[in-house]
Chains A and B, each alone.
Chain A
Amino acid sequence: MSNARFATIALLAGVLLIVGAQWIQNDYFFNAAYTVLMYVILSTAWNILGGYTGYVNFGTAGFFALGVYSSIVLWKAFHPPLAVMIVVGTLVAALAGVGLGYLTMRLRGHFFAIATLALAIMLFTFVTNWDYAGGARGAYVIVPREVPFGFARYIRYLFSVMVLLSVASIVVARVVERSRLGRGLAAIRDDELAAECAGVPTLKLKLISTALSGGMMGLAGTTFPFFISFVEPVGAFDLRYAVNAIAMPVIGGMTTWLGPLIGAVLLGTVQQLVQVTISSAWNLLIVGLLLVGFVTMAPEGIMGWVFAWRRRRARRS
């Protein structure tokens, strides 16, 4: 399927989802769905660097929080439209991705992983000490009274924005996956030294992939202040974003765009259900156990089972 055709179908599916959801009466559905969609973007973003390129990023929360805080600062300063905040937040996080990549990408993979964690905690410290953005006390964002485009509630509007952003991220991930860039990234993942020798511009490709991945993580955060309306650093930098962003692609399968989507929808929905029915701590425990279980026993995730089943069927016929 060509990229244009895939994008059209994905967009149509998104629009159908938005229109169809307006018949749902319960507003809680939109809260839950927003969170799941946020994880769809985060895990798709993580997978561009983690799955395609083979570099593990523990700093998802840092990039996410960059998006969150750039929106807060912009909103406090200018009250710009949501679209402006989305674009700026994405660019800020992408820039941070390039910076981090430039500083650490010459090193072996696990140093990169540790550096991402370091970046997240550095940013956390700066934000905690930044009074304009609320500091350690946190910042309130008053959700605008009038809802654009005639949606019944602001959360329904945010949900629709999130659907479109998810569609965009998935399309980007698929385009990357099937492009020359994606093949270069796969070469880096499989054997960086060999790729370099074969003439793949590894540093450049890795910087593109950190920028894309970081920017998309920031993108997932830009609308967050309006979703939750009170943001404080501990919440914005919560480790659960990092764990989920890793666990979802691992569970779904890291080699295609479909894996993170499956993982995020599955794990995100389960978490929403457990959070409502049992407790928040238990749902985190489930994520941790699933992550460890899949990474040790089924490293190719759910998509791995699908591929194995397809191979078996092809052999039989």
Chain B
Amino acid sequence: MDISYSLVANAIVAGLLLGGFYAAVSVGVAISFGMLDIVNIAHPAFIILGAYIAFLLNDTFGVDPIVCAVAVSPLFFLLGAGLYRVYYVAFESRGRGPLPGLAFFFGILFITEVVLVLIFGVDYRMVKTSYSETSLHFGQVDFALRLIVPFLVSVVMVVALHLYLKHTFFGRAVLAVAQDPLALRLMGINPIRIREIGFAISIATAGIAGAFLVVIQPVQPSIGREYIGLVFAVCVLGGLGSIYGTLVGALILGLAETFTATFFGPSWSPAVSFGLLLLALGFKPTGLFGR
């Protein structure tokens, strides 16, 4: 195989753009798993749900899927708040630890998937936007707009979340609840309420990431599973609970996957994220930027 300059350059560009999207996919888990210690393995299911809602709205009203996703994100916020309530009442308030909660979220993942299959069937669905087919060219390097638009929006979202968590009262309370819920209670703040909001934000990001997904590639109810390894690999690589770490982890993973797909064939790329995850868990579980 001849490794030409343009092939490598294209792989780097595509990898970074994909990485930006992966950051949007994983940032919710960085909040729920990294900060709140809620192992929400159903996160990808909500991404797929977001993708289908964006598809449905785009199909009926012709609105841009990303605009739709931002518009319906309050609904995802409420869904997240409701889900946390159930989780809290059934598991946290009884001190049952995270393991039964895992089974709970696994069930939620499965239910969401099956409900989507029952409503939409197992066909692949795709949206068409004004920018789906265009690419920019710089020399021999192509920039596909259907990757650039999600990349830009997702970087904006990740940076905004970082600023929100670092500089607002609520955001700092979310960070605080991760460290010491008792101290928070002594300050006269209800940690349950803060955790609820944190979890709701994480689900809202899943809804928006779903719209990116449906812009980038066709979706089908069961593809969510492939993202489970990805989101946790990104979070573990980036160090749990660090938003910028998540961004860096996502870019690394995007590059690794694109290079594997370019040089070994796309059928190998799912092994990359899970392989990196297993390696990270086995050798450096605190991640690159761990606290």
A residues contacting B by CB (< 8 A) are 54-56, 58, 103-104, 107, 109-111, 113-115, 117-119, 121-122, 124-126, 128-129, 136, 239, 242-243, 246-247, 250, 281-282, 284-285, 287-289, 291-292, 295-297, 299
With beta carbons under 8 angstroms apart, the residue of A113, A115, A129, A292 that contacts B102 is A113
Q: What residue in chain B is nearest A283 (Cβ atoms)?
A: B114
A54 to B278, CA, bound (A): 21
Query: How distant is B84 from chain A, measured CB to nearest CB, in Å?
Result: 13
B115 & A124 in contact (Cβ 8 Å cutoff): no
Q: Is B118 an interface residue (CB 8 A)?
A: yes
Does B62 interact with chain A (Cβ within 8 Å)? no
Across the interface, which residues of B come within 8 angstroms of A285, CB to CB? 111, 114-115, 118
Query: Could you pull out 15 A-B pairs where Cβ atoms are within 8 angstroms?
Result: A56-B99, A107-B285, A113-B99, A113-B102, A114-B41, A114-B281, A117-B41, A118-B233, A121-B271, A125-B267, A129-B268, A136-B267, A281-B117, A281-B118, A297-B90
Q: How many contacting A-B pairs (Cβ < 8 A)?
A: 124
Over the window 150-166 of chain B, the binary record of Cβ atoms lying under 8 Å from chain A Cβ atoms (1 yes, 0 no) is 00000000000000000
Q: How far is the CA of A297 from the CA of B96 in the complex (A)?
A: 12
3 nearest A-B pairs in the assembled complex, by CB-CB distance: A292-B107, A118-B274, A296-B90
Structural contact, B278 and A119, CB atoms closer than 8 A: yes
Is A122 touching B275 in the complex (CB atoms < 8 A)? yes
Are the C-beta atoms of B278 and A115 separated by less than 8 Å?
A: yes
B282 and A103 within 8 A (CB): yes
User: Cβ of B86 < 8 Å from any Cβ of A?
Assistant: yes
- A249 to chain B: closest residue by CB: B103
**Which residues of chain B come closer than 8 Å to A136, judged between CB atoms?**
267
| A125 with B271: CB separation less than 8 A | yes
Taking a contact as CB atoms closer than 8 A, the residue among A103, A114, A284 that contacts B232 in the complex is A114
B98 contacts partner chain A, Cβ-Cβ < 8 Å: yes
Contacts of A128 in B (CB 8 A): 267
Q: A124-B270, A246-B106 are contacts. A118–B277 as well, Cβ < 8 Å?
A: yes
Q: Looking across the interface, which residue of chain B has its beta carbon closest to that of A129?
A: B267
A239 lies within 8 A of B222 (CB): yes
